[in-house]
Amino acid sequence: MLKTVRGAFSKDKSSEALTATVIPRAGHDISRDDISPNALKVLYRLNSAGFESYLVGGCVRDLMMGLKPKDFDVATNATPEQIKATFKNCRLIGRRFRLAHIVFGREVIEVATFRGHHAEGGEDDSKPAGKQSESGMLVRDNVFGSIEEDAQRRDFTFNAMYYSVADFAIRDFADGLKSIEKREVRLIGDPATRYSEDPVRMLRAVRFAVKLSMDIHPDTAAPIYELAGRLADIPPARLFEETLKLFLSGQGDATFMLLREYGLVQLLFPQLVPFIKDDNSREMQFIRKVLQNTDERINTNQRVTPAFLYAALLWYPLEEHTQKLQAESGLNNHDAFNIACGEVISRQTQRIMIPKRFSTVIRDIWILQQRLPKRFGRRAYQLLTHPKFRAGFDFLLVRGQTEGGDLLELADWWSVFQHADPGKQKGMVNSLRRKEGSQKPRRRRRRAKSNNGNE
Beta carbons within 8 Å of 119's beta carbon, 6+ residues apart: 7, 10
- Out of 34, 71, 190, 335, pick the active-site residue: 71
- Out of 12, 62, 141, 155, pick the active-site residue: 155
Alpha carbon separation from 92 to 78, 83, 88, 298 (Å, rounded): 13, 9, 12, 32
Beta carbons within 8 Å of 231's beta carbon, 6+ residues apart: 199, 200, 202, 203, 239, 264, 267, 268
Q: What's the chain's length in residues?
A: 455
71 is catalytic: yes
Closest CA to 351 of 248, 265, 261, 246: 265
Distance of CA 152 to the CA centre of its chain: 26
Distance of CA 420 to the CA centre of its chain: 38
Residue type, position 448, single letter: A
Rounded Cα distance, 100 and 90, in Å: 6
125 is catalytic: no
Rounded Cα distance, 195 and 104, in Å: 34
- Out of 12, 62, 73, 175, pick the active-site residue: 73
3-state SS track over 358-379? HHHHHHHHHHHHHHCCCCCCCH
Closest CA to 207 of 156, 160, 165, 278: 156
12 is catalytic: no
Alpha carbon separation from 212 to 40, 68, 71, 171 (Å, rounded): 25, 12, 16, 21
Q: Residue 269 CB: number of other CB atoms within 10 A? A: 23
Could you tell me if 155 and 208 are in contact, meaning their C-beta atoms sit under 8 angstroms apart? no
Closest CA to 148 of 117, 187, 179, 194: 117
Classify the C-alpha dihedral 42-173-259-321 as positive or negative: negative
Distance of CA 226 to the CA centre of its chain: 22
3-state SS track over 319-344? HHHHHHHHHHHCCCHHHHHHHHHHHH
Half-sphere exposure of 335 (CA within 13 A, CB side): 7
Distance of CA 440 to the CA centre of its chain: 48
Q: Residue 253 CB: number of other CB atoms within 10 A? A: 20
Q: Residue 228 CB: number of other CB atoms within 10 A? A: 21
Rounded Cα distance, 311 and 158, in Å: 35
Residue type, position 5, single letter: V
Provide the annotated active-site residues: 71, 73, 155
